[in-house]
Structure 1
Amino acid sequence: MKAKHIKKAARIVLGANLILAGISHLTFARKPFRAQVPNWVPLDTDDTVLYSGIAEIALGSALVFTPDSYQEAVGKAAAGFFVGVFPGNIAQYKNQRNAFGLNTDKKRFLRLFFQPVLVFWALKSTNNI
């Protein structure tokens, strides 16, 4: 399989997962996502979960449906989003909040290392190289 096809498949899988995550923010996983909102965020916790869900649906849709000529910009936006929500993962670890099966300090700590993978995935699956 050509590298171009692999990158496209990786981009679509990432986009689909973002869409699913966004839908879960708005529906069945709202409460668990609240565990990731840092205390210092100046918005209502539930509103923050809803807004981030909308952003995920938008970014995921853009990854899946935007023409190739704009994908690099979309990838950078998605990577920026993953960086932007990383403090939520840190807050979940620091405050020992259980959610999504992350019910030990070790699990919450190991989760922190997945965020750079998402950043890399967003950038690598959308670049023109």
Structure 2
Amino acid sequence: MIRALARWILALALGAIGIVHFVSTRGFRVVVPDWATKATRLDKDAIVIASGAAEVALAVGLLALPKERRRIGVATAAFFVAVLPGNVHQWRTHRSTPGLDTEARRFGRLFFQPLLVLWALWATAPDPVPAVRPWRRSR
């Protein structure tokens, strides 16, 4: 029950921030390091849109594909690891984005990122199998 609630909260948060990437593309360009445009051959707007699309896709997958939830959880955790360089870049360059408009918030997010990785993995872990006790009779 708690894992399911954690999955829903994670999915809703991913979906919401993914949509914000589409609405406020320019606001997120500052997170994209220059080397990322060279490595991907995409401009900053395209990277922001792609990351927003990934977030929305992961959100939908977490809710709509229960048989694949472990794989989607691993993919979500990998996504959080993949965007960490952008978060570090934003903190080092002192640039603001929606909701991250102070040094303390930008720095704090760096410590929140590993928690997101763990959250994604924990919330999508298989449900524990109840222990079978052959010595107990069912009534």
TM-score, scaled relative to structure 2: 0.83
Give structure 1 stretches of 5+ with no counterpart: none
Structure 2 residue aligned with 1:65: 64
Which has the higher Rg, Structure 1 or Structure 2?
2
Secondary structure of the residue aligned to 2:34 is coil
Match of 2:80 among 79, 82, 85: 82
Q: Is the 8 A contact 1:25 1:49 kept in 2?
A: yes
Letter in structure 1 aligned against 2:49: L
Runs (4+) of structure 1 exceeding 3 A deviation are none
The count of residues paired between Structure 1 and Structure 2 equals: 123
Deviation (angstroms), 1:115? 0.5
Instruction: Output the CA distance in 1 between the equivalents of 2:13 and 2:105.
Output: 21
TM-score (norm 1): 0.89
SS in structure 1 at match of 2:83: helix
Matched-pair contact (CA < 8 Å) for 1:16–1:64: no
RMSD of Structure 2 on Structure 1 (CA): 1.3
- Find 1:17's aligned residue among 4, 8, 13: 13
Unmatched tracts of structure 2, length 5 or more? 129-139
Take 2:2 and 2:43, find their aligned partners in 1: how far apart are those partners? 40
Equivalents in 2 of 1:53, 1:102: separation in Å? 17
Secondary structure, counterpart of 2:70 in structure 1: helix
